């Protein structure tokens, strides 16, 4: 099974999202070997979920709060994400960690909350350029994944996103990706109960139709978390076809 997830970030108005869905669906055929998901901005979740409801495309939130409700202005709960049609949620994206101060402690609570509301967490992990240059990549991944010891076994996906390769046009070398993904998979085996099953590890970092086939040739890569290329329906449809 391959996995292709679009992260629209803070892009698209209603009309643009509708046009995307129409164009993408015109070129999309569901495949039993590919799981496709799109994470729109919060205001677009319901219409996007409605567009894809019968087409086997999952809808994820881009973030979620650990509490089911409360006085948290500007936040959205896992319960609310589920209510508007989400089946999963991206957690710990590097932009959330770097720009909004999201901590490992907060993420542990969020993973548990997602599980409680039957949302699949897509946990993002990865190092900055400075951490890579200091030889700290595996230490960073170990720390970020160790929150799962506090959440208890839970179904999830993981995305390895070297921060220095997001939106920069840069991409980690094959050997670097293999090392990181192999480490993540080994760490997950020590943290997850056997009955949870294998955890897919996606790659995120300037994924495009030009480089995705090479990425999919890496045995440890289960798919892609896609940013910029996911805003073009033709490019995203191509990525889904390549995964099949």
Burial class (CB in 10 A: 0-12, 13-18, 19+), 193: exposed
Checking if the pLDDT of 167 tops 80, the result is no
pLDDT tens sequence across 190-239: 888 666 778 999 999 889 999 999 999 999 999 999 999 999 999 999 99
Q: Pick the catalytic residue: 102, 127, 161, 181?
A: 161
CB 221 within 8 A of CB 10: no
Count of other CB atoms within 10 angstroms of residue 222: 24
| 161 annotated active-site | yes
pLDDT tens sequence across 12-42: 999 999 999 999 999 999 999 999 999 999 9
**CA dihedral angle for residue 207, residue 213, residue 217, residue 218, rounded to 10 degrees:** -10
Cα gap 215→176, rounded to integer Å: 12
pLDDT tens sequence across 136-156: 999 999 999 999 999 988 899
| 65 annotated active-site | no
Domain boundaries along the sequence of the chain: 2-243
- Predicted model pTM: 0.96
Does 3.20.20.70 match the CATH number of domain 2-243?
yes
Q: Pick the catalytic residue: 65, 93, 102, 181?
A: 93
Stated as kind and residue range, the H or E segment containing 203 is: strand 201-204
Computed on alpha carbons and rounded to an integer, the radius of gyration of the chain in Å comes to 17
CB 64 within 8 A of CB 78: yes
Stated as kind and residue range, the H or E segment containing 115 is: helix 104-116
């Amino acid at each position: 099974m391959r996995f292709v997830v679009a992260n629209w970030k803070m892009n698209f108005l209603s009309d643009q999202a509708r046009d995307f869905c129409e164009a993408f669906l015109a070129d999309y055929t569901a495949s039993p070997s590919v799981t496709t998901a799109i994470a729109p901005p919060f205001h677009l979740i319901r219409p996007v979920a409605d567009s894809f409801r019968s087409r086997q495309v999952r809808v994820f939130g881009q973030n979620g709060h650990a509490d089911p409700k409360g006085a948290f202005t500007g936040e959205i709960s896992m319960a609310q994400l589920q209510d508007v049609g989400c089946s999963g949620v991206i957690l710990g994206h590097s932009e959330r960690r770097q720009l909004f101060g999201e901590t490992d402690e907060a993420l542990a609570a969020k993973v548990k909350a997602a599980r409680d509301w039957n949302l699949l967490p897509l946990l993002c992990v990865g190092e900055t350029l400075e951490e890579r240059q200091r030889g700290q990549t595996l230490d960073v991944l170990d720390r970020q994944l160790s929150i799962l010891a506090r959440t208890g076994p839970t179904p999830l996906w993981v995305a390895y996103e070297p921060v220095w390769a997001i939106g920069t046009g840069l991409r980690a070398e094959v050997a670097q990706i293999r090392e990181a993904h192999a480490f993540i998979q080994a760490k997950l085996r020590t943290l997850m109960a056997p009955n949870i099953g294998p955890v897919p590890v996606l790659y995120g970092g300037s994924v495009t139709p030009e480089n995705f086939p090479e990425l999919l040739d890496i045995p440890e890569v289960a798919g892609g978390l896609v940013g910029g290329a996911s805003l073009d329906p033709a490019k995203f449809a191509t990525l889904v076809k390549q995964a099949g």
